[in-house]
Amino acid sequence: MRITGGELRSRRLVAPRSQATRPTQDRVREALFSILVSRGTFDDGPAAVLDLYAGTGALAFEALSRGAGRAVLVEKSREALSAIRENVSELGLSSRVTVLSAPCDKALADPRLAGPFDLVFLDPPYADLAAAAAVVARLPSRLAPGARVVLEHASADPCPTIEGFSLEDTRVYGDTALSLLLPSDVGLSQT
């Protein structure tokens, strides 16, 4: 697994050995960041990134490589946290990354997650989509104007309705779907 673009392009990332973590594939990350860049996500200067269910941290590291200023990564698995910390060290990102060891729903009480964040990634276990949607619903006060939320889920499952967010786009890559959400006053419709 490698970073696909930006200043850290081609740098290898360490992943946990267990099958409990399902890192976002390189080609899916590359496609996602192509979409984000084309929509001006990094145009207004260094973005603040929140990576929930961080796993290896690949999504946050990709964002940092492409111009994000700082990232907060939240993960509860010890093995995944070890991989994240090793990646932070190997990539020389310790001054730009905060790592929190906690379940995502509990981590939202941590003041380091106050934001504002310009870009939020959620890559939960596919079976935990409803729990991840509940976490998304608690994010609006932590988001900067113009923020985007990216929810990764199984392509067989539609993006859930989330109060306070509208669905900007969903892209499917094999078994993986990426839903891009925007904060709004209108709930998300099933698609």
**DSSP conformation letters of 113-170:** G---EEEEEE---GGGHHHHHHHHHT-GGGEEEEEEEEEEEETTSPPPP-TTEEEEEE
pLDDT in tens, 54-77: 999 999 999 999 999 999 999 999
Domain ranges of the chain: 44-160+172-183
* Cα-Cα-Cα-Cα dihedral sign, residues 88, 89, 91, 95: positive
Whether domain 44-160+172-183 has CATH 3.30.70.260: the reply is no
pTM: 0.92
Closest CA to 174 of 25, 39, 16: 25
pLDDT at 22: 67
Q: Which of 71-75, 84-88, 98-102, 144-148 has the lowest mean pLDDT?
A: 144-148
* Of 4-8, 43-47, 154-158, the least confident: 43-47
Q: Which is higher by pLDDT, 112 or 169?
A: 169
